[in-house]
Amino acid sequence: MLNALEFVATLSTALFCGAAAYINLVEHPARMGCDTKIAATVWAPSYKRATVMQASLAVLGFVCGVAAWLLGGSVLWLVGAFLIGAVVPVTFIVIMPTNHQLLEPGRDLGSVETRALLEKWGHLHAVRSILSFLASVVYVSLLVGA
């Protein structure tokens, strides 16, 4: 059971990290290369679709990491769990106000303010990428016994 929890914690966290990195390194820069109205228009459905996948992966990585620690795993499983788990409050407390501003009804999607919000969002999302990368490093190191 412990091995399965460790594997699932590592896999879900690594998948989250890969998706977050893809968003920061590929998707968002490509979007920002477009006109602001287009960038804002495609940001909304992308954000909504990614939310379901990434929230599920973050919670799974956190729960399995904590469970692995509770079942006798190293305290580092708890460290990794808190790193991946931290993306949830970071999202709600730090990123969500920007999301709500971008999704405001009647927002001028082509405005300078919208462009600034999209740029801010990219920087804030990078925090999630960094936290998930650190959690992945911890988990993978533990899994391979490094």
Q: Which pair of structure tokens corresponds to residue 56? A: 């599920």
What per-residue confidence (pLDDT) applies to 117?
Answer: 98
| Sequence spans of domains, the chain | 2-144
pLDDT, mean over the chain:
96
Q: Among residues of the chain, what percentage have pLDDT more than 90?
A: 99
What per-residue confidence (pLDDT) applies to 145?
Answer: 85
Helical H segments across the chain, by residue range? 2-22, 28-32, 36-70, 75-85, 87-89, 96-102, 112-144
What per-residue confidence (pLDDT) applies to 15?
Answer: 98
Sign of CA dihedral 50, 97, 94, 88: negative
Distance CA 130, CA 118 (A): 19
The DSSP annotation for 27-47 comes to IHHHHHTS-HHHHHHHHHHHH
pLDDT digits (tens, 9 = 90+) for 48-95: 999 999 999 999 999 999 999 999 999 999 999 999 999 999 999 999
pLDDT digits (tens, 9 = 90+) for 8-22: 999 999 999 999 999
Kindly report the pTM of this predicted structure.
0.93
What per-residue confidence (pLDDT) applies to 112?
Answer: 97
- 67-104 burial, b at 16+ Cβ within 10 Å, e below that, comes to bbbeeebeeebbbbbebbbbbeebbeeebeebbeebee
